[in-house]
Amino acid sequence: MKESLKLEENERLKMRDTRLWILQRFLVLSMTLLVLRLAYMQIGHQFHYLALANRNRVDTYATPSPRGTIFDHTMRAMAYDRPAFSLIYARSNRPIKPIANTLSHVLGTSSKQLQASMLADVTAGVHCLIASRISDRAISFVREHQRDLPGVEIIPDSTRTYPFGDVACHILGYINSIPKDRQDDALLADFPPSTKIGWSGVERSYDDVLRGHPGKICMEVDSQGVPIRRLDESREPVSGQDLVLTVDASYQAYVQRLLVQQLHYLKAHGHAFMDHAMAVALNPNTGAILAMASVPTYNPQWFIDGISYAVYEKQFAPAERNWATQAPVAPGSVMKPLTAFFAMKEAVISPNSTFRCDGQWDIPLTQGPPIRCWTRHENVSLRFALAKSCDVYFYKASLAYGNWPPKHGVSVSTWLKKTRLSALRRLETMQHHFGLGNGGTGVDLPEEASGYVNEGSGQVADLPYTAIGQNEVFTTLELATYTATLAHDGIRPTPHVVEKVGRIPYQVRQVNALQISGLQKEQLHVIQEGMYLACNDPCGTAYGTFHHGRPLSYTIAGKTGTAETGIAGFDNAVFIGYAPYRHPQIAIAIVIPGGGHGADSTGPIARAMFDRFFSVKAGKALAHVE
């Protein structure tokens, strides 16, 4: 019996020793793992955990920076930030309902909405925005009741203001909230979520310099997230840089009004389906844009004050696109000066070449109907072919540089596939040199579209129709740049709307189109003379526009254009021109899609634009925004 008890006691002792051994080993292993983990955290990731600790100790809130002011050429503010104030709240464990109840009546917001704002996105930090651009009454109330509003703080803010409404809206653009696809943009990482950025116009293309640098509120907080004190790392926001534009607000407003009035007039006289009109005026010597108008227009202030769905759909959406830079259209006969240049370069005509126009022409070796001119011109020289806008002259020139009929040994099929395309592409290269196509003009505005030459239907007639501007499309800005190049003796300027960023002036960029095209100034002078005759000789297509009525105070050269679109009664009306004829100061292009005859529809706008420009120059017109 005693031996049995002794054996049981020994078994219990062995089991106890085994358990102690296991426990000791477990404790040793646990301590070893703990030490290794601490070493890993202290040595391998010390900076990471130090940053986390600091984040738990310090709360940071970004404060908005005022955007730079946008001035017109005469230093009138066209877009500026008006000082405003917003409310932020420092979260803690204090009850928020009494604070929300106190603020609700003065902010015009329900207590529930304020509480939701105070609790929203608690992972973002201690501070949260609860009201933007509060009223003066709300500011006074918060300051007077600060003891009853713990954690509530007034911070400087601003609101964008566009004092001239829709004037230059497509140049200025508008600002709006940061879009979803840019919320992770590293350049915007330090800005508060309420920041508005440029969505179009110079507000967008110069957004990085306009928006400045945000401020920062750094608060030391306790373990409960209650603010203790503001730290020295806090900084004030830095305002963005100012821009000075090349446009004069009064001249810009005048051009916009001209387009609106002409649209209304044309709609009332049989052109019921027109919706758009565009005009661009350039300084041909520098490329400075003097006016750029696209109708219809919108008011950038809509996005600041809050835009309704009805206003967005009915007013903004039809006007958002800048048709002057983003809508290539068929230009018509304003392309004839360039076709003449190309034909002289190809040595198929000379300045004295004459062709006969009987009002139509049968293309050699084809069975199709004759291609027509708008009237019969009989024997016509190059200068007067431009002045009278003779289609047949340029039909014949185009088939000469296109080598039609094909030379001996070249089949019609080969000509259509190779020779025809080669001629079109060589012409297109010439157009690129003069600012037409090739990716756009390089203007400092976003999303510029570029025109192009259609390679056509694969028929012989593609060449004649391209020669008179019926087989290509270009934007109004491209046409204005082309005109400026013609005016400035073949020197192509780069158009721009910003004259100065801060104190840094725009660097004028130019290309010698004559030199790279292999043309001579004497050939250019013939083209200029033809454009002069178009406006000043009684046979010219624009003579009535500039010489019926009050006399001119300047000399002008120009070209009218009427482009068929394939829709009956919907021809594009186009005009290009510059003045003075010698030493030009302004070059313009005007396009009214569906406007009909160029001289009738765009000519009056051109005359008014030139008249106002030179009246202001002479000090005879009031330079105010009407």
> Region 94-104: what's the mean pLDDT?
90
pLDDT band at 51 (very low <50, low <70, confident <90, very high): very low
| Lowest pLDDT segment from 18-27, 88-97, 241-250, 334-343 | 18-27
Beta carbons within 8 Å of 128's beta carbon, 6+ residues apart: 88, 89, 91, 117, 118, 120, 121
Beta carbons within 8 Å of 579's beta carbon, 6+ residues apart: 554, 555, 556, 557, 585, 586, 610, 614
pLDDT band at 192 (very low <50, low <70, confident <90, very high): confident
CB under 8 A, 24+ apart: contacts of 580-583 = 580/554, 580/555, 580/556, 581/528, 581/532, 581/555, 581/556, 581/557, 582/555
Residue 604 and residue 544: Cα distance in Å, rounded? Answer: 10
Q: What is the pLDDT of residues 260-292, one digit of tens each?
A: 999 999 999 888 888 999 999 999 999 999 999
| pLDDT over threshold 90, residue 386 | yes
CA 68 to chain centre: 18
Bigger pLDDT: 8 or 212? 212
| pLDDT over threshold 90, residue 622 | no
> Region 240-262: what's the mean pLDDT?
97
Q: What is the pLDDT of residues 230-241, one digit of tens each?
A: 788 888 889 999
Mean pLDDT (the chain, rounded): 89
Which two structure tokens, joined as six digits, stand for 9?
A: 């006691």
Bigger pLDDT: 373 or 26? 373
pLDDT band at 125 (very low <50, low <70, confident <90, very high): low
Q: Domain 306-541+593-601 in CATH: superfamily?
A: DD-peptidase/beta-lactamase superfamily (3.40.710.10)
Bigger pLDDT: 50 or 241? 241
Q: How many other C-beta atoms lie within 10 A of the C-beta of residue 572? A: 24
If 0-12 CB within 10 Å is exposed, 13-18 middle and 19+ buried, where does residue 585 land?
middle
User: Which pLDDT value is given to residue 346?
Assistant: 96
Which one-letter DSSP state was computed for residue 452?
Answer: E
Residue 118 and residue 131: Cα distance in Å, rounded? Answer: 10
| pLDDT over threshold 80, residue 46 | no
For 323-473, strand residue ranges (E) read: 354-357, 360-361, 371-372, 378-381, 452-453, 472-473
> Region 60-79: what's the mean pLDDT?
92
For residue 318, say if its preceding peptide bond is cis, omega within 30 degrees of 0: no
Q: Domain 58-245 in CATH: superfamily?
A: Penicillin-binding protein 2a (Domain 2) (3.90.1310.10)
User: Which pLDDT value is given to residue 16?
Assistant: 72
> Region 467-495: what's the mean pLDDT?
97
pLDDT band at 316 (very low <50, low <70, confident <90, very high): very high
CB under 8 A, 24+ apart: contacts of 346-352 = 346/400, 346/401, 346/426, 348/397, 348/400, 348/401, 349/382, 349/397, 349/400, 351/382, 351/383, 351/522, 351/523, 351/526, 352/381, 352/382
User: Which pLDDT value is given to residue 52?
Assistant: 46
> Region 436-443: what's the mean pLDDT?
95
**pLDDT > 90 fraction of the chain, expressed in percent and rounded:** 64
| pLDDT over threshold 60, residue 167 | yes
| pLDDT over threshold 80, residue 224 | no
